[in-house]
Structure 1
Amino acid sequence: MSPLRGAAYPRPVPSDAPAPLSTGDDTVGPRPSRPVLSIAALLLPGVALAAVLAAAITSVTAGDVLAALGLPDPGALTRLGLPVARVVAESGAVVCVGSLLFAAFLVPPQKSGTLSADGYAALRTAGWSGLAWLLGSVALVPFIAADVAGRPVGEILRPRVLFDLVDAVEQARSWTITALVALVVTVGCRVVLTWGWTVVLFGASLAGLLPVVVSGHSASGGAHDLATNSLLYHLFGAALWIGGLVALIAHAARRGDHLALAARRFSLVALVCWLAMAFSGVVNALVRLPLSELVTSDYGRLVLAKIGALLVLFWFGYAQRRRGVRAVVEKGNPGALLRLGAVEVLVMLATVGLSVALGRTPPPGSLGVIPGPLERLIGYDLHGPPTLARLLLDWRFDLVYGAGALVLGGLYLAGVVRLRRRGDRWPVGRTIAWLGGCLSLLVATSSGIGRYSPAMFSVHMGGHMILSMLVPILLVLGAPVTLALRALKPAGREGPPGPREWLLAFVHSPVSRVLTHPLVALALFVGSFYGLYFSGLFDVALQEHWAHLAMNAHFLIAGYVFFWPVIGIDPSPRPLPPLARFGIMFAAMSFHAFFGIALMMSRSVIGEIFYRDLNLPWVTDLLADQRLGGGLSWATGEIPVVFVVVALVVQWARADERTARRTDRRADADGDADLTAYNAMLAKLAGNDRGPRA
């Protein structure tokens, strides 16, 4: 019997029973040790292969890099230990992410909301792989510090020296943060038993991948905005694909329930992840590598090797879908899935080794090259002052928010088409509002407004107003939740929960109820203006590309959370009466007007160091540019009031019309019984009044 098939779980308990806990007794709950052994039997050869591959390649290229830069050699232990530790950390990360994905979305929980036995098994696997992620991340910190300092790792392990180097080296700080996130996820996997908290852990594990993205080749040099954004897709796609496949194979090996459902769902995830990895990999390579150096440089040859590995993985994925998934769905036989999947995991982990070696190899032409101020700080050059034509036509596509706008628009139209094919109607005005919001998001982030926004405060404030006010207003008027609930197929009473049920769970979750509380929504929407710009936080955020991404996300989310209960068509977790909606809206606009006036009257420049380093020739007075931004904030703040007032009046009138129609239908059905009873009561009162007088 193979080690994969040797790991067997007891059958899941009935769906309405509480989840069993492992207490050491043979009669209760799944044992965590057996799946860990089966996963280890599958992963250890692949991780060892990836580690040997990464160490062998970097041992050849590292010496040339150090010699070219004139840096001292940190020693063989650091040269070999650093790629090995990174392979361990990244392998643990992808298995942890994939196992949590499996537990949260690929197999259904029990009806009580507690994880099933299969979900619990994946959760325990995530805990053990999270421990490997944690240990690898901790080991990377001194190795990276020693590599940058050019000193043996034994000297770096002194607490004071290590603390100073971690504070000075960005990559060491990133892996320290990653280790903290891995610690939280690992501990959480030991104490969590419910589906909702598993989803939270899954989100935390994805967030743990972000610190690595913002350091390294992609976060430095020219075009670092495109390189970093493409690496986000690449890293998330790899984690979900590789980790999800490992979790699926482990589930098939222990003959778990809902294998066909998990295989179908993962097949779609794998296809999307492969497309994201292929597209982002091409973009990242084009940014970092001239085509003439594709064959002649070590970096280019590693890129070609990784492309070849991705093509092999595409073939495996195609064969997996045609043979493995079909055999599971149609015949319930996981044999082909196990055979193809085991080889595919080995190729995937070898690709991880190539990726680690690629990260340790500098792109050609990058050694000793110092980019200019604009390329170093914002990643690209500007072609002159921001005229109206440049703001509208000088585009630089944002791979995160520009692509997000296109995807959101496409998904919405797909939902509308599904309703129309079914014979249902959907208001055209809602479609126009949603597509207008998507177009506004695309223009604010990818047109000349998005291009000049990182370099000029006035343009940044204009983009801020679009993202926090115009885009959320249009999106909430599109009623996306209502459309999704009508377009998505319900699971039924006995069926496993799907996207429709997940959406309902989120809308009614405590998180949504807290965020849509009027005071919380008002504080997020208005308080963030003052907290971001008047606390010094904006000065720090200007230096980092990831901080720009985070700011845009905050503007969008805070605006959507605020306008959803105010003018949203979708049912809100906290419905508000019309007068309360007007009151909250006017309170927010009053605070917003004070913010714009405060910017116009300020005598200190926000982000002065950053903007002076840019030294734009057409921005000679930074304070005047800031006051222009304050004026834009104050003036544009009045526009949403018009939108909101009109929307509220229309919604109020339509609510009255619906109430009147319901009353008329009820009167027609019961012969106007309410009016007859009311007249009879009046007649009786009139008779009582006449009786005593007579």
Structure 2
Amino acid sequence: MLTRWNLPRLGLLAVAGVAAVVVGLLVSGAAGRPVLGDPGALVRWGLPVTETLVELAAALTLGSLVLAVGILPRRADLGREPVDAPASAEARRAARRATSGAVVDGRAYPAVLTLAGAAAAAWTALSVVQLVLSYARIAGRPLGGPTFGSELALFVGQVSLGRTLLGITIVAALTSALALLVATPTGAAWAALLALVALVLQSQTGHASGASNHELAVSSLFLHLVGAAVWVGGLAALAVLNRRLGADVGPAVARYSPVAAWCFAAVALSGVVNAALRVGSWDGLGSVYGALLVAKVVLLVMLGAAGWSYRRSVIPRLTGPDGDRAPGATGLLWRLVALELVLMGLVSGVAVALASTAPPVPDDPVTDPTPAEIVTGHPLPPEPVGTAWWTQWRWDILLAAGCLAAVVVYVRWVLRLRRRGDAWPWARTASWVAGMVLIAWATSGGLATYGHVLFSVHMVQHMVLAMVAPIFLALAAPVTLALRALPGRRDDSRGPREWVLTLVNSRVAQFLSLPLVAAANFVVSMLAFYYTGLFELSLRHYVGHLAMVVHFTVAGYLFVNALIGVDPAPHRPAYPQRLLLLLGTMAFHAFFGVTLMSGEVLLVPDWFGVLGRDWGPSALEDQQRGGAIAWGIGEAPTIALAIIVALSWSRDDERVARRRDRRVDRDGDVEMDEYNAMLARLAKDPAGRATAGDAARSPGGDAARD
């Protein structure tokens, strides 16, 4: 099987990466002999080289899995590896045209999962080497020695960096096993999520672990790692599998191209943020770190130019009239890919050299920190008066970038509908933009700044995320728009439209979308969040904060969509039942708010109670004020929902009346004629009895109600 993989192209990537990191270390002197505790040249030079190979193996793993999730064409009748191929390629293409109406090769799909498993296995082995070399570098100990093993065990068991590196190794091993076991896009998606866990752990190391702007550094580094991994790994996987792609080369490269464009945008945005944090000012570009950063920027620009070139001039010529490879274009594509792989290797090497070089802005902890800096990692903001709500920002790069991307994608879908002549209400687009702006402000603006130090502001932030923004999102009908705008596929792979249908129709989504379940989730999760350790987890850990934002926004959307949404929802109740659900929610908010208002026990006292605020109410008074917000201000969105439900009820009655009027104009008033006939029969019946059929046909009977 390996003979059918184009492995030399991986060599281009690895050699370029190693060469770049060696040159970068020579320029920066980061691998020079330290004054104290020299671990030896093997460790000083081996660790950066190993880190480069680890990053490339991780990228190949995640990139291969992304190709399996939604890029490569797939045939459902193919197993992990084709056993007996047809006699000729033409016979194979003809057979598949007859069954699917399109040319689908499908041989690369099972191979890409095998490639992902092999890459994850290499990632695991290299991570073990990285772990050992990292300890030797930190301890200043050469490899070996009678106590080296016990010291390494102590490093892994009790030191944060050691535990993180061990966690990455374990996750990489699990990813390898899962990738080799699965054979479907769903299985590949689970393996990709597992690989993302390792990147989350990796984002906690390096310069991102510094005390200054910790959350921003970690989130921007994670965005950078994911964007680079999918970009580099996806292209490398296509290059390795090009001999198996056959007629699938056109669709595969065309689908990968927009993914690469998004990855380029993610890498560029996160790179700018990281550069601003590490360089500090323009003067910092004159340092060795700044020179390496400039080199990385130049290489990224060259990568973007190469990608733009084959996106505009090569991809349209890849597929001929019969679905086969167009002559000449394929060779140009793979030459450009080889150039990109070299550039990507150079970028990866320079990135590792940057991580090994001291930046102009040091990551040293703040000297003589204030109580707020000790607890939250940030200086205490000024008192929230006047325009402070709009001028104080603490950017969450992941959520802000996600909101911006969501607006861009939604608008592109709307424009796609309009280009083909379909209408989409402008109010829905405005509603979506408003919802995303609210989420971005709640997670990066004044609510995010003060929600970290004031419980009352945190409660406002919670209400915006769980009750206000979901109203705008549900009225925007994003699922309906996606199903109308996204094209379907006929090659058994899952594109965006297929994934939307898979998620919407899954048993979990169907269960969580049930009105009673959505309401219970909305209510119970709030109690569980504030009266367990989850609240403190969201305050102290960025991952917990992200989980809080995503959970309550999705829970709010599911609840609102069951009441007033346009998107599909199972068993949407009648309007009276919807109003009852709203009344129950209002009662819960009153109970929850009164509980906080009357409570005398401070939630997370070693956070809100030790910030050293010299302005505003005491921590307990502020918490009681948050209860009033949950009860009072939180009812405003509920009342708005009740008004929308009532208006929808009225419009529904009007639509039913109009349908009946049209039926009467077309067929006559059949129900009234039958009713008059029944009255006539009753008048003739001396006993005055009506039959069961007469009662059923009366305007008050079942027929009339229908």
Question: TM-score band (shorter)?
Answer: 0.7 to 0.9
Hey, what does 1:4 align to over in structure 2? none
2:451 equivalent to 1:453: yes
Question: What is the correspondence of 1:159-558 to structure 2 with a 5 Å cutoff?
Answer: 161-329=151-319, 332-333=326-327, 334-366=330-362, 368=364, 370=366, 372-373=369-370, 378=376, 380-420=378-418, 422-491=420-489, 498-518=495-515, 520-558=517-555
Asked whether the equivalents of residues 128 and 186 of structure 1 are also in contact (C-alpha less than 8 Å), the reply is: yes
The CA deviation string for residues 161-191 of structure 1, in whole angstroms up to 9 with x for no partner, is 4454335433333333333332332222222
Hey, what does 1:9 align to over in structure 2? none
Asked whether the equivalents of residues 567 and 647 of structure 1 are also in contact (C-alpha less than 8 Å), the reply is: yes
Q: Shift of residue 94 of structure 1?
A: 1.0
Q: Shift of residue 463 of structure 1?
A: 1.0
Asked whether the equivalents of residues 228 and 263 of structure 2 are also in contact (C-alpha less than 8 Å), the reply is: yes
Closer, same or farther in 2 for the Cα pair 1:159/1:541, shift >3 Å? farther
Query: For residues 637 and 137 of structure 2, what CA distance do their matches in structure 1 show?
Result: 53
Hey, what does 1:586 align to over in structure 2? 583
2:593 equivalent to 1:596: yes
Which gives a bigger RCO, structure 1 or 2 (Cα 8 Å, sep 6+)? Answer: 2
Query: For residues 225 and 282 of structure 2, what CA distance do their matches in structure 1 show?
Result: 26
Hey, what does 2:119 align to over in structure 1? 129
**Structure 2 residue identity aligned to 1:436:** A
2:536 equivalent to 1:567: no
Question: What is the correspondence of 1:24-43 to structure 2 with a 5 Å cutoff?
Answer: 33-35=2-4, 38-43=5-10
Query: For residues 133 and 689 of structure 1, what CA distance do their matches in structure 2 show?
Result: 94
Closer, same or farther in 2 for the Cα pair 1:691/1:304, shift >3 Å? closer
SS at match of 1:590: helix
**Structure 1 residue identity aligned to 2:71:** L
Hey, what does 1:22 align to over in structure 2? none
Q: Shift of residue 126 of structure 1?
A: 1.1
**Structure 1 residue identity aligned to 2:238:** L
Closer, same or farther in 2 for the Cα pair 1:494/1:637, shift >3 Å? same
The CA deviation string for residues 318-364 of structure 1, in whole angstroms up to 9 with x for no partner, is 33334542441356242112222123112212221221221222212
Asked whether the equivalents of residues 233 and 277 of structure 1 are also in contact (C-alpha less than 8 Å), the reply is: yes
Q: Shift of residue 111 of structure 1?
A: 6.3
Question: What is the correspondence of 1:598-677 to structure 2 with a 5 Å cutoff?
Answer: 598-611=595-608, 614-618=611-615, 621-673=618-670, 676=673
Q: Shift of residue 521 of structure 1?
A: 3.1
Q: Shift of residue 384 of structure 1?
A: 1.4
**Structure 2 residue identity aligned to 1:216:** G
Match of 1:83 among 40, 44, 48: 48
Closer, same or farther in 2 for the Cα pair 1:92/1:483, shift >3 Å? same
Hey, what does 2:100 align to over in structure 1? none
Identity, % of aligned positions: 37
Asked whether the equivalents of residues 473 and 560 of structure 1 are also in contact (C-alpha less than 8 Å), the reply is: yes
Asked whether the equivalents of residues 287 and 360 of structure 2 are also in contact (C-alpha less than 8 Å), the reply is: yes
- Per mean C-alpha deviation after superposition, the further-off stretch among 524-533 and 185-194 is 524-533
Query: For residues 682 and 143 of structure 1, what CA distance do their matches in structure 2 show?
Result: 97
Query: For residues 687 and 281 of structure 1, what CA distance do their matches in structure 2 show?
Result: 90
2:67 equivalent to 1:102: yes
Asked whether the equivalents of residues 118 and 257 of structure 1 are also in contact (C-alpha less than 8 Å), the reply is: no
Identify unmatched segments of 5+ residues in structure 2. 81-105, 691-706
Query: For residues 496 and 544 of structure 1, what CA distance do their matches in structure 2 show?
Result: 37
Q: Shift of residue 151 of structure 1?
A: 3.7
SS at match of 2:247: coil
Asked whether the equivalents of residues 209 and 218 of structure 2 are also in contact (C-alpha less than 8 Å), the reply is: yes
Query: For residues 360 and 613 of structure 1, what CA distance do their matches in structure 2 show?
Result: 36
- Per mean C-alpha deviation after superposition, the further-off stretch among 169-178 and 669-678 is 669-678
Closer, same or farther in 2 for the Cα pair 1:54/1:495, shift >3 Å? closer
**Structure 2 residue identity aligned to 1:343:** L
Hey, what does 1:12 align to over in structure 2? none
Hey, what does 1:13 align to over in structure 2? none
Q: CA RMSD in A?
A: 3.4
Query: For residues 167 and 604 of structure 1, what CA distance do their matches in structure 2 show?
Result: 36
The CA deviation string for residues 181-206 of structure 1, in whole angstroms up to 9 with x for no partner, is 32332222222222333333333333
Query: For residues 546 and 79 of structure 1, what CA distance do their matches in structure 2 show?
Result: 32
Asked whether the equivalents of residues 458 and 625 of structure 1 are also in contact (C-alpha less than 8 Å), the reply is: yes
Query: For residues 33 and 513 of structure 2, what CA distance do their matches in structure 1 show?
Result: 53
Query: For residues 665 and 285 of structure 1, what CA distance do their matches in structure 2 show?
Result: 66
Asked whether the equivalents of residues 219 and 225 of structure 1 are also in contact (C-alpha less than 8 Å), the reply is: no
SS at match of 1:254: helix
SS at match of 2:319: helix
**Structure 2 residue identity aligned to 1:43:** L
Closer, same or farther in 2 for the Cα pair 1:531/1:79, shift >3 Å? farther
Hey, what does 1:143 align to over in structure 2? 133
Query: For residues 554 and 145 of structure 2, what CA distance do their matches in structure 1 show?
Result: 46
Q: Shift of residue 66 of structure 1?
A: 5.4
2:42 equivalent to 1:44: no
Closer, same or farther in 2 for the Cα pair 1:680/1:601, shift >3 Å? same
Query: For residues 293 and 562 of structure 1, what CA distance do their matches in structure 2 show?
Result: 52
Q: Shift of residue 119 of structure 1?
A: 1.9
Asked whether the equivalents of residues 96 and 243 of structure 1 are also in contact (C-alpha less than 8 Å), the reply is: yes
Closer, same or farther in 2 for the Cα pair 1:154/1:560, shift >3 Å? farther
Asked whether the equivalents of residues 415 and 484 of structure 1 are also in contact (C-alpha less than 8 Å), the reply is: yes
- Per mean C-alpha deviation after superposition, the further-off stretch among 417-426 and 382-391 is 417-426
SS at match of 2:583: helix
Asked whether the equivalents of residues 589 and 635 of structure 2 are also in contact (C-alpha less than 8 Å), the reply is: no
**Structure 2 residue identity aligned to 1:483:** L
Closer, same or farther in 2 for the Cα pair 1:687/1:355, shift >3 Å? farther
Closer, same or farther in 2 for the Cα pair 1:328/1:613, shift >3 Å? farther
Q: What TM-score, normalized by structure 1, do the two folds share?
A: 0.84
Asked whether the equivalents of residues 75 and 492 of structure 2 are also in contact (C-alpha less than 8 Å), the reply is: no
SS at match of 1:618: coil
SS at match of 2:318: helix
SS at match of 1:208: helix
Query: For residues 526 and 640 of structure 2, what CA distance do their matches in structure 1 show?
Result: 21
Asked whether the equivalents of residues 112 and 237 of structure 2 are also in contact (C-alpha less than 8 Å), the reply is: yes
- Per mean C-alpha deviation after superposition, the further-off stretch among 83-92 and 282-291 is 83-92
- Per mean C-alpha deviation after superposition, the further-off stretch among 246-255 and 374-383 is 374-383
Q: Shift of residue 56 of structure 1?
A: 6.3
Asked whether the equivalents of residues 24 and 292 of structure 2 are also in contact (C-alpha less than 8 Å), the reply is: no
The CA deviation string for residues 123-163 of structure 1, in whole angstroms up to 9 with x for no partner, is 22111112122223343334334433444454698776445
